[in-house]
Chain A
């Protein structure tokens, strides 16, 4: 299986929400962890329902899944970070906030709404309160193993400990009820320095709540490295049955500081493998709330790292990775994303029964299923996905011939859909003539689509010519699947020739082509 990566909007605090979502989607993330905050869908601002609907439509358009996070720092109290929490003498505002968060989560179709316990007054947990200076993730000058070794207090924290624990259980029970009414899944996050700081604390809370079905765990991978007794992959396995939300970041043992990947101690491929092995279906969202100042670049590096780690974990083959780093889409993902009730469902049944029926159904798929972006599957439109599924519904021995006829007889949209479907179909290299046809055209969309993952079947000479044609036609090289894996010295020579011609003519060369040439020269 492939994991779905997301990014936390608390790492885009200096972006308008709409801009943050667009950047996150453009980078190839498939979801967001949306921290409700003063400037990001403020749950206390006017017209919440309308603004929520707007965000829902943005997410839909961008194909982003969503989880709701509630760790905003000064949303409820301009003076005291995170206050009030469920542990306060008067937690009303926190409860009200969480109720709204659950409602927003329901309206956005969020996969989970995440929250935490809060930091009890010093002395209660047996460890210092909020040792890192920021319980939701930050550096601390005083950070050290002792800071976070206290673990969760639970009822055993003395008389005050019991009082806070009762408050937490009462507050959680109220939110559990609200969430159950709205069918929203809750993810409760152990947070170093808070009353519930680790997995053991979550388990006690879960039991004291009566093991309610909608109450899962939000697991921050960095936190596991920071303070859990088990190795990180084992933490994943230990909570697999309750895992509803995952945050991911690097961290060092004993220091609650959310770090960019590769700058902490975590070995990520085994962690990703564990998530895949337990069949975790949710988002794995990057949690770097102190990196907003460089958000786009940090987010770009992060997804590249995660995709490399996925490949190292054996979750996706290197050849199946696009140059943007997105995993290759699978038919199952398309099936899950396209509504197959109604017209498409009937069409698929008809094609399975009578393969010739596809000739009339395939052209109609655009007007029947719509042509908008496919939610949750970046780079695919609904009509393309519907057409790919129609092709896949043909009997296996008819697929190659069907793809050829539908391409030859297709209008541009149908041809595009066939080209995009090729790598997903059981046809070996039989459809290479279609790629050659598409590459001969002067239609930039067809040329770009011909250079997807199926282009691995093209011989090297044809592939190089096609890449050069992209540069010539102004097609971004991000369209070329596996570009860096396959680009060679011969392509460098050809690119250099084009650069010479352009220079002689006083014309510009596309920056992505120059960058490729640089990489090839450097290799």
Chain B
């Protein structure tokens, strides 16, 4: 089984996680730029973080045979801080990097006018730099936040096929299904989706344009929930091809629209014999 985790914050994870992920079949990850738990107070703090996302973190991942790409943006929460908004002029530099495959996470946290402005400005950057966009939907007031995000996306003129709406759930999935945008679900303890609920959504809405991620970060989270969801899919009667579509081909297709996704060496379809057990670490 090959797994592409399209949203995981590896900066907050240890090498033990990388080891277990590789053993579970994770071969590629995308790490979206987001907030760090501790608020930032100046653009330099972002710059070092972005540098790490295109430098140190991919190197760390490569030690475990995992390909690492990033998405770059000013996140919605910190868009409200004028000291942080000064990072906006620096973004174009990073949006040209080979390892950057989308603009993100953008979207709403509290749906303030500042967030409106920064969201729209970054959608325009995505168009200019020919990159897809990863849209975070808010924890609070999620349904209205999702609708408003879809409206801003539509207004921006970007092709909805180049946009993924993330952190969806049973309540918001229906809002996005027919918009042409991609749908992403975070399998994250307590606050987001769980493997059994994810399987029910896949059963109802199908596997097309569906992405599943762990969104694992500095909070109580689990980078192996992608694998757990894949196993739950198989147990529920989905075929291995269905699993491959959701866990590998869909994220490859979505981020591949950047023209910068480099999966040489990790992309080949898994061999049906030796490679399998090695990747699973005998598990």
From B54-62, B192-200, B232-240, the one touching the partner chain is B54-62
- Alpha-carbon gap, A441 to B52, bound state (A): 11
A411 located at the interface, meaning its Cβ lies under 8 Å from any Cβ of chain B in the complex = yes
B92's closest neighbor in chain A, by CB? A360
Chain B interface main SS type: loop
- Alpha-carbon gap, A457 to B54, bound state (A): 28
Contact status B96-A360, CB under 8 Å: yes
B260 located at the interface, meaning its Cβ lies under 8 Å from any Cβ of chain A in the complex = yes
CB distance from B97 to the nearest CB of A (A): 5
- Alpha-carbon gap, A411 to B54, bound state (A): 5
From the candidates A363, A442, A443, name the one contacting B96 in the complex (CB within 8 A).
Answer: A363
Chain B CB within 10 Å — which of A360, A363, A442 has the most? Answer: A363
Contact status B55-A411, CB under 8 Å: yes
Q: Which residues of A contact B99 (CB under 8 A)?
A: 411
- Alpha-carbon gap, A445 to B58, bound state (A): 12
A465 located at the interface, meaning its Cβ lies under 8 Å from any Cβ of chain B in the complex = no
- Alpha-carbon gap, A412 to B96, bound state (A): 14
- Alpha-carbon gap, A409 to B100, bound state (A): 14
A50 located at the interface, meaning its Cβ lies under 8 Å from any Cβ of chain B in the complex = no
A413 located at the interface, meaning its Cβ lies under 8 Å from any Cβ of chain B in the complex = yes
Contact status A413-B96, CB under 8 Å: no
A507 located at the interface, meaning its Cβ lies under 8 Å from any Cβ of chain B in the complex = no
Contact status A367-B259, CB under 8 Å: yes
A359 located at the interface, meaning its Cβ lies under 8 Å from any Cβ of chain B in the complex = yes
Interface string of A432-448 (1 = CB under 8 A from B): 00000000011101000
Chain A CB within 10 Å — which of B97, B99, B259, B260 has the most? Answer: B97
A361's closest neighbor in chain B, by CB? B96
- Alpha-carbon gap, A359 to B96, bound state (A): 9
| A45-101 CB contacts (< 8 Å) to partner B | none
Contact status A359-B93, CB under 8 Å: yes
A258 located at the interface, meaning its Cβ lies under 8 Å from any Cβ of chain B in the complex = no
Contact status B93-A409, CB under 8 Å: yes
Contact status A413-B98, CB under 8 Å: yes
Contact status B93-A366, CB under 8 Å: no
A396 located at the interface, meaning its Cβ lies under 8 Å from any Cβ of chain B in the complex = no
Interface string of B223-261 (1 = CB under 8 A from A): 000000000000000000000000000000000000110
Contact status A367-B98, CB under 8 Å: yes
Q: Which residues of A contact B59 (CB under 8 A)?
A: 412, 443, 445
CB distance from B235 to the nearest CB of A (A): 40
| B212-227 CB contacts (< 8 Å) to partner A | none
Q: Which residues of B contact A412 (CB under 8 A)?
A: 54-55, 58-59
Contact status A366-B98, CB under 8 Å: yes
Total interface residues in chain B, CB < 8 Å: 12
Chain A interface main SS type: helix
A462 located at the interface, meaning its Cβ lies under 8 Å from any Cβ of chain B in the complex = no
Chain B CB within 10 Å — which of A359, A442, A443 has the most? Answer: A443
Q: Which residues of A contact B98 (CB under 8 A)?
A: 363, 366-367, 411, 413
Q: Which residues of B contact A363 (CB under 8 A)?
A: 93, 96-98
Interface string of B64-106 (1 = CB under 8 A from A): 0000000000000000000000000000010011110000000
A364 located at the interface, meaning its Cβ lies under 8 Å from any Cβ of chain B in the complex = yes
CB distance from A351 to the nearest CB of B (A): 15
A40 located at the interface, meaning its Cβ lies under 8 Å from any Cβ of chain B in the complex = no
- Alpha-carbon gap, A246 to B59, bound state (A): 44
Contact status A367-B54, CB under 8 Å: no
CB distance from B192 to the nearest CB of A (A): 31
Q: Which residues of A contact B55 (CB under 8 A)?
A: 411-412, 415, 443
Q: Which residues of A contact B97 (CB under 8 A)?
A: 363, 411
CB distance from B274 to the nearest CB of A (A): 23
B90's closest neighbor in chain A, by CB? A409
- Alpha-carbon gap, A443 to B55, bound state (A): 9
Chain A CB within 10 Å — which of B96, B259, B260 has the most? Answer: B96
| A296-344 CB contacts (< 8 Å) to partner B | none
- Alpha-carbon gap, A445 to B59, bound state (A): 9
Q: Which residues of A contact B260 (CB under 8 A)?
A: 367
- Alpha-carbon gap, A252 to B173, bound state (A): 85
Interface string of A362-389 (1 = CB under 8 A from B): 0110110000000000000000000000
Q: Which residues of B contact A441 (CB under 8 A)?
A: 56
Q: Which residues of A contact B93 (CB under 8 A)?
A: 359, 363, 409
CB distance from A517 to the nearest CB of B (A): 28
Q: Which residues of B contact A (CB under 8 A)?
A: 54-56, 58-59, 93, 96-99, 259-260
Q: Which residues of A contact B (CB under 8 A)?
A: 359-360, 363-364, 366-367, 409, 411-413, 415, 441-443, 445
A-B contact pairs, 7 of them (CB 8 A): A363-B93, A366-B98, A409-B93, A411-B54, A411-B97, A412-B59, A441-B56
Closest 4 A/B residue pairs (Cβ): A411-B54, A363-B96, A366-B98, A411-B97
Given contacts A366-B98, A415-B55, 9 further A-B contacts (CB under 8 A): A359-B93, A363-B93, A363-B97, A367-B98, A367-B260, A411-B58, A411-B99, A412-B59, A442-B56
